Amino acid sequence: MTSRFAALVLLLMLAGCATAPRGVPEAPRQPATTNRYETEPGRDAAMVAELRAAPAPEVPELVPGKSPTSDHNRLAARGYVRIGTGYFPGTEATVRDAVIRQGQQVGADRVLLYAPTAGAATPGSGGEWLATYYVRFQLPFGATFRDLRAEERASFDAEGGVAIGSVIGGTPASRANLLAGDIVLKFDGKPIGNRAAFQGLLKSRAGHPVTLTIVRNGETLQRVVRLGVVASPTTP
């Protein structure tokens, strides 16, 4: 009886040793040590170059940020589009230099810088500063477009037209429910020659509503686009 009891006790002790101890804290998360930059989807260099309102400055304007959401809404109302976000560990002095260099590389007009949030590591001890990069766009239309390929013209029995590429949210093209891949064949009922002709029509009708005849998934649709006015690069 005693031997059986001793064996049972020994078995329970071995089982307890095999069980992982509870309440052991996880290894501390290592702070970031390198800078990171993430491009906004659809904001590649070619698109930015096509839609920006003025050439990129030699040095972007660096502004202390208050609230990423409210700052974004305020800038968007003035024609600024966020092209990317950066994350920078280190002291404010070293971060500022890195943020500006990144802004020069991507051609930003304005950069908003945010200190690490409350509860995160403090500046200089591994916390990441947040930087948002903006370019002022000319957005009377708000979408990129290209000439139709030969096979596309043949498919739609059209001599010309354009295909819509990226559509920027909150712009006339977006509000008119234009989508990437839409084929635009007519402008106010008249056939479109090519990309250059379409661009000229948009410019000539800036500030006015226009009707585009598009083809989407084989269906012909009419879309009314209320074109905006090209913002002056000197407008504050």
Give me the amino acid identity at 146.
R
pLDDT band of 152, cuts 50, 70, 90: very high
Query: How many angstroms separate the CA atoms of 98 and 54, rounded?
Result: 24
Report residue 42's pLDDT band, with 50, 70 and 90 as the boundaries.
confident
Give the Cα separation of 8 and 60 in Å (integer).
74
Model pTM? Answer: 0.60
Tell me which residue has tokens 């913002």.
Answer: 231
Q: Strands, E, within the chain: which ranges?
A: 36-39, 61-64, 80-89, 110-114, 128-136, 143-147, 162-167, 183-187, 190-191, 209-216, 219-226
pLDDT band of 166, cuts 50, 70, 90: confident
Q: Where in the chain is the domain with CATH 2.30.42.10?
A: 143-226
Domain range 143-226, its CATH number among 3.40.50.2020, 3.40.50.300, 2.40.30.330, 2.30.42.10: 2.30.42.10
Residue pair 63/133 in contact (Cβ under 8 Å)? The answer is: no
